[in-house]
Structures are given as structure tokens and as C-alpha cells.
Structure 1
Amino acid sequence: MSHHATATAAQRTDLLHRMLLVRRLEEHRAIRTGDEAVAVGLLSALGPQDALVAAGHGGAWRAVGAAAQLFGGDVTAAHNPAEAWETARAMARGGRRRIVAVCAPGPGPLAGVFAGLSAGPVPAAACLPVLFCRGDRLETPDCSPIATVLSVAGDDVEAVAGAVTTEISTLRVAAGPCLLGVRTPRPGHDPVALLAARMHTDHQLDDNALRAIDRDAAAQVEAVLRRHR
């Protein structure tokens, strides 16, 4: 989904509501907010039979777990990128999932994994339906089997969802794996405010509607927390 081709009010309202759900849950857990766009954009683009493996404990990848708890998703935690890759490869080869996304923070953690993918006469990752998501800069070896490489701003939920949808389309025709880079938002850039401003400009949202969506998100999170007490 790209905001260059204006999305419907219903599509954007759903993304906005989901980001506010994640934010309110993060606030209850005293977790830093601002990573909702990555979590919501990624999980909203994955299908119900797809899976996600998150390596690391920071920022966006922690928000992915919160998003999965709130509106569903098959999310597995891994201790490091190598473990995440092994888990994803087993899922992809086992046929239990069509697409498996692997998330790792920062520019460095997947470097060793990429090097291993290209080792041997037949690359270990050839044609596997795996989407690698990582923070910041994108670097892959010249001989890497990565099929598609895209980069998006981490505060733009529509850009994240659109890029993931594009790469998943590649993976669904048996090409892969693919790589998505998530650029760290500049300080003070709020993904909720960014989408809300876009919707205001396109006459899809007003202040009263935004307050109502936020109140509903807060109430849903309170209900979730009560069920788990």
C-alpha cells in the first residue's frame, strides 16, 4: 500500500487503529513507543498462514510481539539472527507456512547469515519463501541469493506495508529470499501522527474521529490486560 495512490479511509483507519493498539499496550508495559509502524505494517501484510521469527529484544521487534498478541499472528522469538534463520528455514521447508519473515535489529546482525546463505554449490536459501527484515543500512555479499532488496522509513506504516506486500508477491512465485531494510526514524517523528496528518489532508479523518479511535484502542487494550490478570 502506497500513500502515493491514496488508500481508502477504511484501510488507513485500520492501520491507525492497530498502531494505537500497539502503542497503548507498550505504554502499559513502560516500553518506548515509536516503533508501531514497523510492527503493524509488517504483520498487516503477512497472510494468516504466514509466520514471523523475531531475533533481538529492541524497538520494532519487541513491538511485533505486542502487535501479534493484540490482533493475531504466528510470532516466534529467537535469541540471535542465526537461530532465527534456522527456525525460519525449517518452517519454510516444512511447508507449514507459505511465507516466513525473519526480523533482526541493527545493520550488522544478519551479515554472517547472508554469508552462510551463499556458501556451497547450491545456496542454502535458494528459492525459499523467506523475507529478511533488518534495521538501517542494507549490505549483502555480491554472490548473495537475495532476490529483491527494498528500503523504507520506519515511521511510515503505509510504506512498510506496501514494501512487504511487494516482496511477498515475489516470494509467492517461488523467488527468494527477499530483504527489507527499515530506516530508523528521525527523532520526534511519530508514525501515528504521520498517518493521521495524511488522513486529515485527504479528508479521511478529523480530530473527533481520531480521539474516538484512540479511546477504542485504549479500551481494547484494557480488556486484553484484564483477561491476562
Structure 2
Amino acid sequence: MPLNCHRRRSAAERTALLHHLLLTRHLAERNVTVPGGLTCRLGEEAVNVAVSVALGPLDEVVTTPFHPPTGLFAILVSRPAGRSSPEPTRHVSISIERTSAGDETAREAVNSLDVEDLLSAVQQALGAVRTGDCARAVLVRLDESADPIDVLVTRMRIDHQLDDNALRAIDDDARQLARAA
């Protein structure tokens, strides 16, 4: 999956993604389970949000018993309609790896800072699995050089989709929801 593969999303779509990112961050700060039941370290909110948003009603998340700094993060299993248990070959594995920008693998990986690219990659992989393709993998290049929330906020501001008042209101709502959890 090439980097920067996100399609231009509407202000409403990006606002929903931003709200999910902020809620996930505030829940992680409070050590509360984040939506989807995924483990989430600070800075990995974009991976969690992309997975949570991409899941459909017949999909489930099988997390690993540990959360290594590199390696497998989660497996998304898509259950065919009318079946009670998923087929083991119909899944999407999400891997997070520390790679350098010059690494051959890094060029095919999705940047952990870009929730839009991550969402596109997970949706594409799940879509293929749902239509009968075999297992798919999404490799995420862990990038700790910036904050995934700042990346989306900057993009929204450049596209005139967000101002300070709207950001404050979205963040306040996410904080209130996290406190209530």
C-alpha cells in the first residue's frame, strides 16, 4: 500500500476521525479500555481509530496477549454472513514495526501518524477479505517523530475545515466522554 494514499475526506469525516483520536487519547491517559478493546499506547491512537472505524458488524478483533514494540498488534477477523465462526484464513493482520525511512519495508508500510492512510489501508484489506480473498496484512511503520492528532489537525486547518473554537469544542466533548467512562 503506497504512502499518502488517503482520499480527500469531507470536514464531517475528518471531524469524526479527530473526535475518535482525541477520545482514544483521553481514555488511554486514564488507562481505560479504548473502543474496540484494543490496547493503545500514547501515539498509537491513529492505528486504533482506523481499526475501530473500519470494522463492520460481522468483524471482530483478536488481540495478541502482549503488545510488543514491534510485531503483531491485532488480527481482524471477518465472519461471512450466516456463519457463526470465522474462517481462520479470512483475516487481516495489523503489524506495527519500527523501520527507518530508507528501509525497503518502510516504503510499503503505512505511516502510524496518518489516520486517513491507515483507515484506507484497513478498509481496503478488510474489503478484500469480506469478498472472499485470503488473509491480508497491513504493515504500519511506527513513527514517533510527531503526534497523529497534530497531523490531522494541521491537515484540517490547511483545508479550512477546523478552527481553534471547533478544536476546543471537539476536545472538550472527548474529555467529558473519557471522564464518564
Letter paired with 1:33: L
1:87-166 pair list within 5 angstroms: 95-96=83-84, 128-136=89-97, 151-166=109-124
1:43-122 pair list within 5 angstroms: 43-58=52-67, 95-96=83-84
Distance 2:171 2:43 in 1: 15
**Matched position secondary structure for 1:96:** coil
- Distance change >3 Å, CA 194–CA 3, structure 1 → 2: farther
Q: CA deviation at 1:34?
A: 0.8
Q: What are the Cα deviations for residues 129-158 of structure 1, in whole angstroms up to 9, with x where unaligned?
A: 2001111279xxxxxxxxxxx621111111
Q: CA deviation at 1:4?
A: 4.8
8 A Cα contact 2:47 2:112, kept in partner:
yes
Could you say which structure has the greater relative contact order, defined with CA pairs below 8 angstroms and 6 or more residues apart? 2
Partner of 1:118: none
TM-score between both structures, scaled by the size of structure 2: 0.76
Partner of 2:20: 18
Q: What are the Cα deviations for residues 153-189 of structure 1, in whole angstroms up to 9, with x where unaligned?
A: 11111111000111112112211100110111133x1
Structure 1 residue 37 and structure 2 residue 37: aligned? Answer: no
| 40-49 vs 22-31, greater mean Cα deviation | 22-31
Distance 1:211 1:28 in 2: 20
* CA-based RMSD: 3.2
- Distance change >3 Å, CA 53–CA 24, structure 1 → 2: same
Distance 1:205 1:3 in 2: 22
Letter paired with 2:119: A
Distance 2:123 2:176 in 1: 30
Distance 2:63 2:6 in 1: 30
Distance 1:209 1:198 in 2: 14
Structure 1 portions without partners, runs of 5+: 61-80, 101-124, 139-149, 225-229
Partner of 2:159: 202
Q: Which runs of 4+ in 1 moved over 4 A?
A: none
Distance 1:5 1:18 in 2: 19
Partner of 2:142: 184
Partner of 1:219: 176
Q: CA deviation at 1:40?
A: 0.3
Q: CA deviation at 1:221?
A: 1.0
Structure 2 portions without partners, runs of 5+: 33-39, 100-107
8 A Cα contact 2:111 2:141, kept in partner:
yes
8 A Cα contact 1:136 1:184, kept in partner:
yes
Letter paired with 2:83: G
**Matched position secondary structure for 1:215:** helix
8 A Cα contact 1:200 1:206, kept in partner:
yes
Structure 1 residue 173 and structure 2 residue 134: aligned? Answer: no
Structure of higher CA gyration radius: 1
Number of paired residues?
160
TM-score between both structures, scaled by the size of structure 1: 0.61
